[in-house]
Amino acid sequence: MVLYFAYGSNMLLSQIGKRLKNPDLSPCCVVYAEDRTLIFPRKSDKQKGGVASIEEKKDDKVFGAVFEITDEELKKLDSFEGYKKGCKNNRYEHREIELKKEDGTIIRAITYVANKKGIYLPSQYYMNKIIRGATECKLPETYIQKLKRIKTKVD
């Protein structure tokens, strides 16, 4: 089994469940990545704007959900995220990062970090997916409010 940290639209249970063909998938815990911030460095026509990644930023936090998935499910996610081991032109790369639970317990999980660095506004459509996922996964209300304040482009 693999611990996978979702911080973007993959927190939306219907989306990740469909992608992994596992409609009963649910997060095992809420966590945050310390000294990281949410960014939108890649453009997606499908999502109508910028799509999420994380980068280092002192004194910030990115909350998300950890899912316990199989190696085969991780391979399915890889195809959706544009990752292929050994490929030089991946859209995203695997990163194992340290995360904290609300009680301070530290865990490590795999996540995706974008290769391309640009600055794009996410669409309201895409941000709504992230916000619905954050709500479904029971992220802290203060963080959900922070997500709602992210500037979006007009769809």
Q: The domain at 2-148 falls in which architecture?
A: Roll (3.10)
Helix (H, G, I), strand (E, B), or coil: what is residue 34? strand
- Examine the pLDDT at 136 and tell me if it is beyond 90: yes
Is 34 assigned a catalytic role?
Answer: no
Averaged pLDDT for residues 3-9: 98
Tell me the per-residue pLDDT of 25-52, one tens digit each, with 9 for 90 and over. Answer: 999 999 999 999 999 999 998 999 999 9
What is the pTM for the complete model shown? 0.95
Tell me the per-residue pLDDT of 92-126, one tens digit each, with 9 for 90 and over. Answer: 999 999 999 989 999 999 999 999 789 999 999 99
The residue whose two tokens read 């865990």 is 107
Mean pLDDT taken over the chain: 95
Choice among 81, 93, 136, 141 that is catalytic: 81
Cβ burial, residue 96 (10 Å; 0-12/13-18/19+): exposed
